[in-house]
Amino acid sequence: MHDFIGYCAVEVVDEQLGLAFPLAVFYPSATPGRAQLVGPYALDVARGAAIEAGRFPLVLLSHGTGSAPLAYRALAQGLARRGFVVGLPEHPFNHRDDNSWAGTAQNLAARPRHLQLAIDALYGNSRFTASLKPDAVGLVGHSMGGYTALALAGGRPASVPRDSPNGVGQAIPVPAADARVKALVLLAPATPWFAAAGALRNVKVPILLLEAEKDEHAGRFHGQVVLTGIEDRGLITHRIVENAGHFSFLSPFPAARVSPAFPPSQDPPGFDRAGFQEELAAEVAAFFARQLT
């Protein structure tokens, strides 16, 4: 375990869309942190500190639709403490402050491309270039982020009728499988775009699939798409998290934001979200350690 966590923000440029989007990065550091605001959250990090000596695998974490990167801050910090550089991109037009692309084919095409641009940005960033293990990338995707991870790992998605203006499904143009991506962690993934036969045939990397027992948004069908669509079932480690809901994979929210009126803050009765975050970080880190180190 590493004692301290560094934090910085990187700007990722999308020349195709003519915009830039933020990428939050947590990483091992030898510099002691202090409590400070990162976005709306008080975190114990060393802002702008140098990365610790060594070479580390890269993990990219793709947030759910209409969510935010720092909603996964506990998992990101837990992985950084265990020796990973963790990038959390904000998917343009599909985040908390601007969700205008939700439910569109445009969003389905853009998400995996933006995840790839984030990988490029970190490997090309002077702060991290010499400290990242080459071609050792893991992807974590929650909900819509699970779709995003599968698409960048070789999945060939097709839109469902509700994603298309004319109500007719169509193939979604996504990047070819990124050879740097060596493993996936799918947390209650959203997967109907891969339901067609052969859509996941080209996904050839190990997968940790965690589903929520009491998921109110991504039911068993979504996990089954992965379990039946990956040709080599031996690539998949599968677990159903007992008593968890769809949002139980998010970091705990400050007390002032916990309310039935804010569903992402809610769990099934008796579920310990704070305790689960430590369990989740340990499980994800152990899986990636086997695949990336």
Give the 3-state secondary structure of 147-204: HHHHHHCCCCCECCHHHCCCCCCCECCCCCCCCCEEEEEEECCCCHHHCCCCCCCCCC
Residue 140 to residue 48: CA distance in whole angstroms? 24
- Nearest residue to 70 via CA among 278, 275, 263, 252: 252
Per-residue pLDDT of the chain in tens (293 residues, 90 and over written 9): 999 999 999 999 999 999 999 999 999 999 999 999 999 999 999 999 999 999 999 999 999 999 999 999 999 999 999 999 999 999 999 999 999 999 999 999 999 999 999 999 999 999 999 999 999 999 999 999 999 999 999 999 998 877 777 666 789 999 999 999 999 999 999 999 999 999 999 999 999 999 999 999 999 999 999 999 999 999 999 999 999 999 999 999 999 999 999 999 999 999 999 999 999 999 999 999 999 98
Give the per-residue pLDDT at 167: 66
Give the per-residue pLDDT at 168: 67
Which residues have C-beta within 8 Å of that of residue 45, sequence separation ≥ 6? 5, 6, 7, 26, 33, 34, 36, 38, 77
Residue 168 to residue 177: CA distance in whole angstroms? 26
pTM confidence score: 0.97
Cβ(115)–Cβ(122) below 8 Å: no
Instruction: Domains for the chain: give ranges and CATH numbers.
Output: 4-292 (3.40.50.1820)
